[in-house]
Amino acid sequence: MGQTNLKILFIDEKRITSELEKAGYRKIGAQIHQAVNFPQAKDALKKGHVDVIVINYDYSAIDAVSICEHFKRQKATAEIPVIFTSVQSLPRKISQRENGPDLFIETPVPREYFIEQIRNLLEEKTRETSRVTHPGLATFEYKGQMLECSIQDISRSGILLATDLTIEPGVKLSLSFELPGYLKAIKVECEVIRRIVGDSRRDISAGLGIRFDEFNGDSQKRLEKYIAKTQIDDPKLVYYL
């Protein structure tokens, strides 16, 4: 997860409006989106990707539990972690619900600690994503050049490329790669979220961690089918987006 690339949707009555407060979040690598009700939250999610949804459980104008359950049941948002915040302890029956929040943070807490807790949650979530090795090549255009990079591993949500290229987190790419058994290439709009510096002493190859944002045509279905068939015999790897 790139330090400048954490996108958070807050559903809360409190508006983060001051430039000083916004700058404080940007400084620790967080981009804030806000909504004061359910319709605004749905609109925000339609406009672009967010990494996590944070809902103020104490905000009486919304039903935090119902909103959380709704997003957990929708295919487009089911994989986005949901965090509840409150100035008091969360009832056990809420935290243990099947479609309940992934994390509870009792507030107030320092901004840095809050963001650290979110990042820890995202690391735990992505560790559960099955990834498979894929000995192929990915093609994309960067700075006017068509480039090819070896694929180290791949999942339904992202890909790890082996490369010495210096492409910073946040850069958007249009990626294309082939899968065994399929005639058409997978084409997907994506974003670089992590640059890995190679370290021969620890047997770490230089590379780029890339998150898939939007698939072209039926590319997503074909990729998911390939992952489902392949991951049965393939161990989970040590690198996670």
How does pLDDT run across 148-167, given as a tens digit for each residue? 999 888 887 888 888 888 88
Q: How confident is the model at residue 2 (pLDDT cuts 50, 70, 90)?
A: very low
- The confidence score (pLDDT) of residue 231 equals 60
Nearest CA to 196 out of 134, 143, 140, 153 is that of: 153
Residue with tokens 């949500």: 157
- The confidence score (pLDDT) of residue 121 equals 80
Q: Is 76 in a helix, a strand, or coil?
A: coil
Q: How confident is the model at residue 128 (pLDDT cuts 50, 70, 90)?
A: very low
**Does position 40 have pLDDT exceeding 90, yes or no?**
yes
Mean pLDDT for the stretch of residues 130-151: 83
Helices and strands in the chain: count of H runs, count of E runs: 6, 12
Mean pLDDT for the stretch of residues 74-91: 89
Average pLDDT over the chain, rounded to whole? 81
Q: How confident is the model at residue 201 (pLDDT cuts 50, 70, 90)?
A: low
- The confidence score (pLDDT) of residue 239 equals 35
Q: How confident is the model at residue 18 (pLDDT cuts 50, 70, 90)?
A: low
| CA-to-CA separations, 22 to 33, 112, 175, 218, in angstroms, rounded | 11, 13, 32, 39
Query: Which stretches within the chain are classed as H helix?
Result: 19-27, 38-47, 64-73, 92-95, 111-127, 219-230
- The confidence score (pLDDT) of residue 9 equals 94
**Does position 202 have pLDDT exceeding 90, yes or no?**
no
In order of start, what are the domains of the chain with their CATH numbers? Answer: 6-127 (3.40.50.2300), 132-233 (2.40.10.220)
Distance CA 189, CA 161 (A): 15
Distance CA 220, CA 11 (A): 29
- The confidence score (pLDDT) of residue 234 equals 42
β-strands 82-86, 30-35 pairing: unpaired
Percent of the chain exceeding pLDDT 70 equals 83
Angle at 74 between CA 190 and CA 187, to 5 degrees: 25
Mean pLDDT for the stretch of residues 77-105: 86
- The confidence score (pLDDT) of residue 203 equals 56
Q: How confident is the model at residue 118 (pLDDT cuts 50, 70, 90)?
A: confident
